[in-house]
Amino acid sequence: MKSISTAIVAGTFALFIGTQAWATDAGHTSEAMEHAGQSKAHGEMGHAKEALAHAKESLAHAKEARDDHAASHKHMDEAIKHLDEAIKHAEMGHGEESAKHTEEAVKHMRQSGH
């Protein structure tokens, strides 16, 4: 009976630890996508300053997500390239062009699988 209880506790602990690691990894992608969406929306409205701030925040989270998932590097690298372009265009006051690059970044983040 004691070994069954120990197995249940150990299994629950392993599940909890695994779930926490997955939630942390998914958190960066989720945050990157949320900020990218906000950047895109602001860019479409011509708010380059706000688009810039959200694109930079998205970029930071995208880099964290890429580093957390080596298998997803290809898509996260593409997302990062587009976020860099979104930032450049937002800094130049080109909100709509920034929004286009942010949209492409979101597509790649979705394809990254996390």
Write the CA distances from 70 to 23, 26, 113, integer angstroms.
Answer: 16, 14, 11
pLDDT category of residue 91 using cuts at 50, 70 and 90: very high
Q: How far is CA 109 from the centre of its chain?
A: 6
The pLDDT of 68-80, averaged and rounded, is 78
pTM: 0.54
What SS3 state is found at 34? helix
Look up tokens 């300053």; give the residue: 49
**Residues 21-69: tens digit of each pLDDT:** 444 456 888 899 999 999 999 999 999 999 999 999 999 998 888 777 6
Which has the closest alpha carbon to 108: 52, 39, 32?
A: 32
| Domain annotation for the chain: domains and CATH numbers | 27-111 (1.20.120.660)
pLDDT of residue 38: 94
* Measured distance between the N- and C-terminal CA atoms of the chain, rounded to whole angstroms: 39
Average pLDDT over residues 88-112: 93
For the chain, state the CA radius of gyration: 18
